[in-house]
Structure 1
Amino acid sequence: MDKVISQYQEDENVMIQLFASWCANHQLDALSLYTQAYPEQEKNILLEKAVEEIVTAPVTIDTETLLNVLQLFGNEDLAFVVSEEADKLKKR
């Protein structure tokens, strides 16, 4: 059981890193978008750490892949916000 929990946490961390990278690639504030999606939640320490790490090693991720990963982890609200931002980016 501990292995399953550990694997989920590791996968969740990858999802957070992908989200932070996508935001960095599009010059968007990951923390702000996260707050838009989840206004009631406290700070996301893992996201803050990922944002700091992205500065040194960004990864390119396409929007569709990110949306699939977010939905896989049940982050529909964040996927919705990302989708809206992606639509705005297309219109620029």
Structure 2
Amino acid sequence: MNSKELEEKIIQNYQGEEKMMILVFAQWCINHNLDPEEIYLKAYPDQGENSSLKEALDLTVPKEEAGDVPDQTLLSVLSLFGNDELAFVITEEIKKMKKDS
């Protein structure tokens, strides 16, 4: 494998992992009766529509069918990809949920 092929493989792996991160985020939102697109826009108001998020939404399941996505798992995954703004918005949502319960 030459360096160009290796570089392409690394990029493909990263993109696959990024899609998984987006799916985890979307499913966490669904599990907590939150709109993933609305939450995303709170974190990134200038980005507009996110096609990867739309794709992930097609893969989510109703919360009754979904497994639990622990808050800390989501925050760790977001941190791993440098989504600090989104992690901040999620942290605020978690605080609201705890306050309301």
Which runs of 5 or more residues in structure 2 are unaligned?
A: 1-6
TM-score, normalised via structure 1 length: 0.93
Flag the structure with larger Rg.
Answer: 2
Structure 1 runs not aligned, ≥5 long: none
Residue in 2 aligned with 1:47?
A: 53
Normalising by structure 2, what TM-score? 0.85
Give identity over the alignment, percent: 46
Corresponding residue of 2:88: 80
Aligned length: 92
Instruction: Provide Cα deviations, 1:40-68, integer angstroms capped at 9, x if missing partner.
Output: 10311110121232136634211111001
Q: Is the 8 A contact 1:21 1:60 kept in 2?
A: no
Q: Which runs of 4+ in 1 moved over 3 A?
A: 55-59
Measured at CA, do residues 58 and 47 of structure 1 come closer, stay the same or move farther in structure 2, by a change above 3 Å? Answer: farther
Query: In angstroms, what is the RMSD of aligned CA positions?
Result: 1.3
